[in-house]
């Protein structure tokens, strides 16, 4: 990742807008960020971190929303950080604005604007920036994915805090573990430890639950066995639990089967005794039943004799009812006629009540004649009804004429007002058309000028961009040449080393008795041996391949540089020598003029359309005024004819209405009178007809009663029985006959007569004997069933216990395996000799890598004296595997890093920080870090040590890196020429940049 530009507005101590050109500062490879204490040096680094991750490093991130805003900023200026950088071959620009409490635009008080973020990418082909996202979450995920580092890793790798690494040198294993855990994200290994511990607890719980269930089944077996056998005193988890339970279950099943055999014998004896008592009881019950049957028959015969008279009366009653049934049709006919006569008389009374008193005594014929006279009079009013409807239509038509007259008057007035302003309207619209036509002509001339200006501006921008690309390409060519030279030197060195050790390589193929390829001897008493640093042919060939690859990349970079220079020359020829800013201003002025002309020309069509619509409206209103005048003349003639017709109709209706308000009201009265008279005539005729039918029914009823043998019709009606009474009487007669026949049959039975002559049966004694035998059988059956259930339950529980034991076996094996793994990863197992947890083991490997990478630079800074080594020793009760010692080459002894002096501590911490940056970068996927910052710590160095440190930092440029030193040491200003100075003042801090040359 390489930083290009940083813009700050109202951020930290900077009240206004400040700019940092990292490309200019990084040209020398090493630049200095200095200024007095509290000026804001660290705030520049905070701004870089905030732009990338939306948060500042370390403890400064708490409450950052308002705290990031400068106290020196103007109330209307919003805090903003914009960073332009390149990562993974993509040039990006990210802008961050924290939450801002600003004054309200209207009224008093303040309001809070939400935080905003924006990510853009530069498209080299189009020569423009493209928006990618405005979402905080999406931008955060994109940056983290591109950099491959979290915010904590970035702050430790790119913004190297020397104070933190000095503390890291002197820290104990726990503190080192926390820092390394954050940087290398070893939470997954801690998760593995927790997962194994949870699985161990889960497996242990499963085993204990299985043992508890096994003991629960054993207790159930003990209850099923009747507590006859004591259960062994065992607890879940004890060894031998399963075997003891299985042995006890076998003994319990054997005891239960013995009890079952005894219960079976007792049940068989009880069943035999019960069968004998049941047979004796059946004989006694049969004798008692026959004796009761004979006695009941005698009692029933006595009751029949007592009811003989009632039976004869019922038979006579049934006979009279059968005779009366011949008179029933005549009775029904007479009742129907009487009901019809009552209804007809009531209808006649209601109809006469609604008639005037003059018709109270009129007969049916008189009422019918009066109804016909009313109908004839009603028919004579039909002509008057039509006249009345026509008069209503004339009135409505006259109202419509008046409404049309008012509408036409409004149309005439509106048309007159509009036409009075027509000349002025036409003049204004024609003026608008003329102005739009002039703007269209002007826009055509400006379009060609704008196109030419845009082409020159695009060429100028390509010229500027290609100039930057040329510088970058030149830097890449220089770096490629250096890498090719380094690869060539490395290949030649390896080749020379291999030639020095070629004897050992040839000696590896010597065999006793075979001639030597060099001297031809068949004996090889002292063949050469390979040294520890021997270079074989494969290593030499790899170095040669790397050299060739570097040469190929150098040639490709030089070709690209030539292409960029050629393209730059073409763009310069097209753009000329004018600055891009001047061309942009000219193009902007032309664009504004062209936009104004186009806007004026765009109004031409609208003005022409409006004039056309106005002319159409004038023609429409003129025609409407003429039409309204014609309709007014026609309405005058129509109104006169309507008035004449209305006078004739009113005269005719006056004669037809008579003394009522309208013809319709008189017609309604006549209709009602005719209907009432017709209804009354019909009711009188129905009443007369029903009276004749009632008289005929009385005569037929008297004749039918006489023929049936009754003195009067009323006697016949009294002898009749309804259906329910007839059925009840018939049932009584049938029941008497059935009872009489049944009694005779019982008294004639031989068995019943013989049983009645025997002594009375003792049923109570026989039943007592049978109940005693049944109770004993029930007790024997219950005992037998209980024994069967006991055996079945014991068998079922034994099978479940056996299955549980089989199921628990793999669970116990799983628990033993998981427990061993959990103990091993937690560092509590005897197999883990150093008592190291899994996470500590991984962190120890990372620390070993960091120490190896740091030693390369520490040796150079300390002139080969010091070496950092990793230690797996356990210190006190802390972790093992996270020890860090320093080896002093002058004494040959290894000592603790806490014994280093101030300058030595700075050496070690700086080397450790750079080594950690390399390892974390490799861990993050090999993301290239082209810009690094080192914060403070240089004040503890003497002049010689400072030179050594600067040489080491300057060597970072070999990888095309730029290093920014954050310090207020005065001597560094003389040694480092590219500088970014932070100057503080009462109105806030400002930045002053000075690059090399």
pLDDT in tens, 265-282: 888 887 788 888 888 878
Q: What is the mean pLDDT of residues 521-547?
A: 71
What average pLDDT does the structure give for the chain?
76
Report whether pLDDT(241) > 60.
yes
Examine the pLDDT at 64 and tell me if it is beyond 60: no
SS3 content of the chain, % helix, strand, coil (to 5): 70, 10, 20
Least confident span in 296-300, 381-385, 432-436, 804-808? 381-385
Give me the pLDDT at residue 8, please.
93
Mean pLDDT of the 234-249 span: 71
Q: Where are the alpha helices (DSSP H) in 380-421?
A: 382-420
18 membership: H or E segment, kind and range: strand 14-21
Q: Which of 1-5, 81-85, 503-507 has the lowest mean pLDDT?
A: 503-507
**Residue 925 DSSP code:** T
pLDDT digits (tens, 9 = 90+) for 189-234: 777 778 777 877 777 777 777 777 777 777 777 777 776 667 767 7
**Residue 385: its pLDDT value, please?**
66
* Among the ranges given (312-321, 465-474, 532-541, 691-700), the one the predictor scored with the smallest mean pLDDT: 532-541
User: Mean pLDDT, to the nearest integer, of 736-749?
Assistant: 79
pLDDT in tens, 744-793: 887 777 877 777 777 777 778 877 887 888 888 888 888 788 777 778 87
Of 142-146, 157-161, 730-734, where does mean pLDDT reach its minimum?
Answer: 157-161
Rounded distance, CA 177 to CA 193, Å?
Answer: 15
Q: What is the pLDDT of residues 502-527, one digit of tens each?
A: 666 666 666 676 776 656 666 666 66
Task: Give the pLDDT score at 812.
Answer: 74
3-state SS, one letter per residue, for 293-343? HHHHHHHHHHHHHHCHHHHHHHHHHHHHHHHHCCCHHHHHHHHHHHHHHHH
pLDDT greater than 90 at residue 914 = no
- The rounded distance, in Å, linking the Cα atoms of 901 and 893 is 16
Spell out the residues 6+ positions from residue 752 whose beta carbon is closer than 8 angstroms to its own: 290, 293, 294, 297, 746
Task: Kindly provide the b/e burial profile for residues 486-523, where b requires at least 16 CB atoms within 10 angstroms of the residue's own CB.
Answer: ebbeebeebeebbeebeeebebeebeeeeebeeeeeee
- As a whole number, mean pLDDT of residues 818-842 equals 70
Whole-number pLDDT of residue 18 = 92
CA distance 52 to 83: 8
Round to the nearest angstrom and report the end-to-end CA distance of the chain. 25
Q: Average of pLDDT values for 449-463?
A: 78
Residue 5 confidence (pLDDT): 93
**Alpha carbon 813 to its chain's center:** 42
pLDDT of amino acid 480? 86
User: Would you say 86 and 109 are in contact if contact means Cβ atoms under 8 Å apart?
Assistant: no
pLDDT tens digits for range 832-886: 666 677 767 777 777 778 788 778 877 877 777 788 887 766 554 444 567 778 8
C-alpha span between 116 and 719 (Å, rounded): 112
Give the pLDDT band of residue 169 (cuts 50, 70, 90). low
Q: What percent of the chain has pLDDT over 90?
A: 4
Note the pLDDT of residue 540. Answer: 76
**Percent over 70 (pLDDT), the chain:** 80
* pLDDT for res 834: 65
Q: Provide DSSP, 80-126.
A: EEEEEEEETTEEEEEEEE--EEEE-SSSSSEEEEPPEEEEEEEETTT
Query: Mean pLDDT over residues 954-974, rounded?
Result: 70
The model's pTM: 0.40
User: What pLDDT, on the 0 to 100 scale, is given for residue 315?
Assistant: 78
Q: Between 30 and 918, name the one with better pLDDT.
A: 30
Q: What is the pLDDT of residue 208?
A: 75
Give the pLDDT of residue 95: 94
How does pLDDT run across 542-566, given as a tens digit for each residue?
Answer: 888 888 888 888 888 888 887 877 7
User: Can you give the pLDDT at residue 878?
Assistant: 47
Q: Looking at residue 119, what is its pLDDT?
A: 92
Spatial contact of 38 and 988, defined as CB atoms under 8 Å apart: no
What is the C-alpha to C-alpha distance for residues 94 and 129, in angstroms, rounded to an integer? 11
Question: Per mean pLDDT, which of 153-157, 234-238, 478-482 is the most reliable?
Answer: 478-482
Highest mean pLDDT among 591-595, 669-673, 877-881: 591-595
Q: Give the side-chain half-sphere CA count within 13 A for 842.
A: 20
**pLDDT grade for 65, boundaries at 50, 70 and 90:** very low
The band of 893, judged by pLDDT with boundaries at 50, 70 and 90, is confident
Residue 183 pLDDT > 50, yes or no?
yes
State the average pLDDT over residues 10-21.
90
pLDDT grade for 173, boundaries at 50, 70 and 90: low
Model pLDDT for residues 100-142, shown as the tens digit of each residue: 888 777 777 788 888 899 999 988 888 888 988 888 888 888 8
What pLDDT does 534 receive? 66
The whole-number pLDDT of residue 63 equals 45
What is the Cα–Cα distance from 219 to 794, expressed in whole angstroms? 11
The highest-confidence range among 14-23, 398-407, 734-743, by mean pLDDT, is 14-23
pLDDT band at 80 (very low <50, low <70, confident <90, very high): very high
Question: In 3-state terms, what secondary structure has residue 898?
Answer: helix
pLDDT in tens, 356-394: 777 767 777 777 777 777 676 666 566 666 776 776 777
């Amino acid at each position: 990742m390489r930083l290009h530009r940083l813009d700050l507005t109202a951020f930290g101590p900077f009240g206004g807008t400040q700019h940092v050109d990292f490309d200019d500062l990084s040209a020398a490879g090493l630049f200095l960020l200095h200024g007095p204490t509290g000026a804001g040096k660290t705030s520049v680094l905070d701004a870089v971190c905030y732009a990338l991750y939306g948060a500042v490093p370390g403890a400064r991130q708490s409450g950052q929303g308002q705290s990031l805003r400068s106290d020196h900023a103007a109330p209307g200026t919003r805090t903003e950080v914009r960073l332009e950088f390149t990562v993974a071959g993509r040039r990006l620009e990210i802008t961050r604005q924290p939450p801002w409490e600003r004054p309200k635009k209207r009224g008093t008080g303040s309001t809070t604007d939400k935080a905003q973020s924006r990510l853009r990418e530069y498209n080299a082909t189009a020569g423009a920036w493209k928006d990618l996202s405005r979402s905080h979450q999406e931008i955060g995920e994109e940056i983290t994915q591109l950099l491959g580092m979290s915010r904590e890793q970035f702050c430790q790798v790119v913004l190297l805090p020397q104070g933190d690494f000095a503390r890291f040198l002197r820290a104990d294993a726990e503190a080192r573990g926390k820092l390394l855990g954050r940087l290398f994200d070893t939470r997954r290994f801690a998760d593995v430890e927790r997962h194994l511990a949870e699985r161990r607890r889960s497996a242990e719980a499963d085993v204990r639950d299985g043992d508890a269930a096994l003991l629960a089944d054993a207790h159930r077996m003990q209850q099923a066995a009747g507590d006859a056998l004591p259960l062994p005193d065992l607890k879940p988890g004890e060894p031998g639990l399963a075997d003891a339970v299985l042995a006890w279950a076998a003994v319990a099943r054997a005891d239960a089967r013995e009890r079952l055999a005894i219960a079976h014998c007792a049940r068989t004896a009880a069943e035999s005794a019960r069968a004998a008592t049941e047979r004796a009881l059946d004989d006694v019950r049969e004798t008692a039943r026959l004796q009761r049957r004979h006695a009941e028959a005698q009692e029933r015969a006595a009751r029949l004799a007592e009811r003989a008279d009632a039976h004869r009366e019922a038979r006579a009653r049934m006979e009279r009812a059968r005779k009366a049934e011949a008179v029933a049709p005549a009775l029904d006919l007479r009742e129907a006629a009487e009901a019809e006569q009552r209804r007809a008389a009531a209808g006649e009374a209601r109809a006469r009540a609604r008639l005037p008193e003059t018709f109270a005594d009129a007969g049916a014929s008189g009422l019918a004649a009066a109804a016909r006279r009313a109908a004839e009079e009603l028919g004579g009013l039909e002509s008057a009804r039509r006249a009345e409807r026509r008069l209503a239509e004339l009135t409505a038509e006259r109202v419509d004429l008046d409404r049309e007259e008012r509408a036409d008057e409004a149309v005439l007035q509106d048309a007159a007002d509009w036409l009075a302003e027509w000349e002025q309207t036409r003049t204004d619209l024609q003026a608008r058309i003329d102005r739009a036509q002039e703007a269209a002509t002007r826009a055509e001339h400006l379009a060609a000028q704008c196109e030419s200006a845009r082409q020159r501006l695009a060429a100028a921008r390509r010229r500027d961009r290609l100039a930057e690309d040329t510088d970058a390409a030149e830097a890449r060519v220089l770096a490629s040449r250096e890498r090719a030279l380094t690869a060539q030197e490395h290949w030649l060195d390896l080749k020379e080393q291999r030639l020095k050790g070629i004897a050992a390589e040839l000696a590896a193929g010597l065999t006793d008795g075979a001639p030597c390829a060099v001297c031809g001897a068949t004996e090889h008493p002292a063949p050469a041996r390979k040294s520890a640093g021997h270079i074989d042919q494969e290593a030499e060939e790899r170095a040669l391949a790397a050299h060739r690859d570097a040469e190929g990349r150098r040639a490709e970079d030089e070709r690209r540089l030539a292409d960029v220079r050629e393209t730059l020359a073409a763009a310069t020829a097209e753009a000329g020598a004018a600055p891009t800013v001047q061309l942009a201003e000219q193009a902007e002025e032309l664009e504004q003029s062209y936009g104004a002309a186009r806007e004026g020309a765009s109004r031409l069509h609208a003005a022409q359309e409006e004039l056309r619509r106005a002319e159409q409206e004038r023609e429409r209103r003129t025609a409407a005024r003429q039409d309204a005048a014609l309709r007014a003349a026609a309405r005058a003639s129509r109104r006169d004819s309507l008035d004449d017709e209305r006078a004739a109709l009113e005269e005719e209706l006056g004669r037809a209405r008579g003394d009522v308000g309208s013809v319709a009201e008189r017609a309604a009265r006549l209709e009602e009178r005719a209907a009432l008279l017709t209804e009354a005539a019909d009711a009188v005729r129905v009443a007369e007809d029903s009276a004749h039918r009632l008289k005929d029914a009385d005569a037929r009823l008297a004749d039918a009663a006489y023929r049936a043998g009754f003195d009067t019709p009323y006697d016949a009606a009294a002898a009749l029985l309804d259906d329910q009474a007839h059925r009840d009487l018939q049932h009584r007669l049938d029941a008497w006959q059935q009872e009489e026949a049944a009694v005779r049959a019982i008294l004639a039975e031989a068995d019943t007569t013989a049983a009645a002559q025997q002594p009375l049966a003792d049923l109570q004694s026989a039943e007592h004997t049978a109940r005693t035998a049944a109770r004993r059988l029930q007790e024997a059956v219950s005992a037998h069933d209980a024994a069967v259930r006991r055996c079945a339950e014991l068998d079922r529980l034994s099978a479940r216990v056996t299955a549980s034991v089989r199921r628990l076996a793999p669970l116990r094996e799983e628990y033993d395996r998981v427990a061993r793994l959990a103990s091993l990863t937690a560092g509590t197992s005897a197999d883990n000799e150093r008592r190291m947890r899994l996470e500590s083991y991984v962190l120890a490997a990372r620390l070993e890598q960091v120490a190896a990478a740091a030693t390369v630079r520490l040796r150079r800074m300390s002139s080969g004296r010091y070496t950092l080594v990793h230690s797996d020793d356990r210190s006190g009760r802390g972790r093992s595997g996270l020890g860090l010692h320093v080896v002093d080459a002058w004494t040959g002894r290894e000592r603790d890093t806490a014994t280093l002096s101030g300058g030595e501590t700075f050496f070690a911490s700086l080397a450790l920080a750079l080594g950690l940056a390399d390892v974390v970068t490799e861990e993050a996927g090999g993301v290239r870090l082209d810009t690094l910052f080192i914060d403070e710590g240089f004040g503890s160095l003497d002049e010689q040590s400072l030179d050594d440190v600067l040489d080491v930092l300057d060597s970072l440029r070999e990888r095309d890196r730029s290093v920014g030193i954050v310090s207020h040491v005065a001597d560094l200003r003389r040694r480092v020429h590219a500088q970014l100075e932070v100057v503080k003042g009462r109105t806030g801090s400002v930045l002053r940049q000075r690059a090399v040359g």
